[in-house]
Structure 1
Amino acid sequence: KLLVQIALIIYVLGSVVAGLSTSSGMLIACRVVQGIGVGGLSALAQIVMAAMIAPRERGRYSGYLGAVFAVATVGGPLLGGVITDTSWMGWRWCFYVGVPFAIIALIVLQKTLKLPVVKREGVKVDWTGAFFISAAVSLLLVWVTFAGDKYDWLSWQTYVMVAGSVLLGLIFVFTESRAKEPIIPLRLFRNRTITLASI
C-alpha cells in the first residue's frame, strides 16, 4: 500500500514540475520521474491483484487491467492532441490533467485498500543481481537511443556499449547462478515455454 502511494506521489510530482518546465532538459528529466512513478504503479497493480484476488479470478481482473492500458494507450495521445490544440489550455495541461485523478486515487487507497500483511523472516534481496541486470539493460538502452544521432551505428561507441552490456549480462547470469534468492531464478528457463516467451 505504501509503495503504491509513493509511486502515485512520484507521478504527481513529475507531472506538476513537467507542466512548469522552462526548458527541454527540465521536461525530459521530469518525464523520467513521471516514468518511474508510472512504472512502479504498473508493477504494483499486478502485485496488489495477486495479494487480493483468488487465483481462479485473477485472469479476469488481469484482463480488465489490460483493457484499461489498451484504452489509455489509444486514447491518451488523442486526448493530448485535443488539449494541446485548445487555446486556453496548451501542452502544459497534458501533464496537469492526470494530477487530480492521482490525488483522488491516493485518498481512496488510504481509506479503502486493505492488504494482508505477510511477514517473512530472513529474506535477502539480491542487490548484486539487480545492479548488474539494471546496468546491462540501461547501457543497451543508451546505445539504442543515441546511435544514429550522436554517433554512427557502427562506431567505437557502439562496440564499447554493446560489449559492455553483454559483459554485464554474463556477470548477471553468473551472479544469479550463485545467489540464494536470485531475482530471476535460472531454473525457470529449463521450461521451453518460458524461454520462448522471453525471447
Structure 2
Amino acid sequence: MENEVMQEQAKRVADKILRLEAYTEIQNNMGSCVLSYNYRRPEEVLSFFTSREDATLEIADEGVFRGKDIREAITYLMPSTCEPGELMDIQLASPIIEVAEDLETARAQWVCPGIGALPREREEPQAIWNWGVIGADFIYEHGSWKIWHFHWFRLMKCDYQKGWVQDTSLENRPNIPVHPLAEESTYHNPYTPYSIRECIPMYPRPYKTWDGEDWMLKKKKE
C-alpha cells in the first residue's frame, strides 16, 4: 500500500514537471512565431503550425483557413518583403496556458499590444495601433508542441493620432472574408464607441483531455 502511494506521488510530480516544461515550450514557440511574423518570415511562422487537416487559422474578419489552406493564408496575409517605412510589431503579454492532464493538448491566451506603420504614396507612413488577443490550441506531436487552432481576436486597429475612439474605419468593413479559400469568421467584435466588449476569448481553464475548441467563444467559465 505504501509503495502504491509513493508511486502515485511520484507520477503526480513527474506530470507537473512535464506540464511545466510544456508551458515553457509553448510560450517560447509562440514568442518565436510572433517574432517571425514581425520580421516577415512566413516559412518560419508556418513551422510552428501542425500540418493536420483539422488545423485552423482565423484572423479577425479575414475569415477561417483550414488545413493546407493555412499556408496560402499566411502567404496572403504576410508578404515576405516589406516596403521602406513599413512596420508591424506585435508583442505577447499576460500569458495564460493550461496544459491538459493527459499532456496531449494545451489551451492558451495572450493579450497582444501592437504598433505599425503603413506606407503611403507621397506621404509619411501612417502610424497605427494594432491590439488584439490570441486564443490558441496546441497539440503535442513528434516531440514538439505545435499550434493547432489559432484565432486573432482584434481589439483595435486604428490611426495612432486619432485613436480608437475617433478612428472608426473598422466599423464600415463588411466583415466578409476577401480570400476565396476563407470561411466566414466565427467571431469579430473590435472596439467601437458604442459597442459593449464581451469576455471573449474566454481565458483557458484547467481540463483533463481535449473536448473541442469552442472554449474560446464561451462567455462563462466551465
Q: Would you call these one fold, judging by a TM-score over 0.5?
A: no
TM-score, length of structure 1 as denominator length: 0.25
More helix, by proportion: 1
Of structures 1 and 2, the larger Rg is shown by 1
- Whichever structure has more strand as a proportion of its residues is 2
The normalised TM-score by structure 2 is 0.23
